[in-house]
Amino acid sequence: MVLGVCGKACGGKDAVSRLLADDGWLVIDADKLGQEALQVKEREIVVAFMEDDIFDDAGGLDRKKLGRVVFSDKKKLDTLNQISHPYVVEKIHQVLAEHAGERIVINAALLPMVKVEGVDALIYVQAKLCQRMKRALVRDKRSLGFVIRRIWAQRLLRPQLFWKNVDIYYINNNESLADLARELNIILDKIAGK
């Protein structure tokens, strides 16, 4: 069984993935693979964004600066995605092949837009906008400008637009972790009953 866990920034994907990991699921963290892709594909990124201020004092790639650039310009975000997504998808498929038959979770905000073969069901984690903003500002210590740009960049993220033949389950993450766990168990029971 392969589950995709997706949703917008600070919606609670990591919390759902941790709950599943605690239940014995293998979690593939696409954000970590994306960070890996930035290192592996750094040369291509540098060439593509040469005119932008994306470098640290030592001349290396500064992920925060890169984030500010790409979340301010959809074309630049698309460029970065074209460079990094193939690497991420390849690594996901590699893990899926190595662990075929196991219970696997793919934790990926952009999973709806990056077609990964073999996903049996999607769990779309959602939270109120004010809750997501609070998490980004307080927990993640992001600036208001960055949070607004990131939320704006993800405004069209809707899994039903990209996944036609996969069941999509929506889970709300506006309350406590116990409430989230309860909702998740209801969804897992529905998936198991199919």
Task: Give tens-digit pLDDT for 66-109.
Answer: 988 888 888 999 999 999 999 999 999 999 999 999 999 999 87
Q: Quote the tokens at residue 143.
A: 């600036």
pLDDT of 188 reads: 96
Rg (C-alpha) for the chain, rounded Å, is 17
Other C-beta atoms within 10 Å of 24: how many?
A: 8
Q: Three-state DSSP class for 72? A: coil
Q: Is 15 labelled a binding residue?
A: yes
Domain boundaries, the chain: 2-189
pLDDT of 159 reads: 64
pLDDT of 107 reads: 93
pLDDT of 104 reads: 97
Average pLDDT of the residues in 35-57: 89
pTM above 0.75, yes or no: yes
Sheet holding 2-7, edge to edge: 26-29, 104-107, 2-7, 121-126, 167-172
Q: Is 56 labelled a binding residue?
A: no
Q: Is 67 labelled a binding residue?
A: no
Query: Is residue 180 exposed (0-12), middle (13-18) or buried (19+ Cβ within 10 Å)?
Result: buried
Cα(188)–Cα(183) distance, integer angstroms? 9
Q: Three-state DSSP class for 104? A: strand
Q: Is 13 labelled a binding residue?
A: yes
Q: Three-state DSSP class for 13? A: helix
Just give the CATH number of 2-189. 3.40.50.300
pLDDT of 130 reads: 81
Cα(99)–Cα(149) distance, integer angstroms? 37
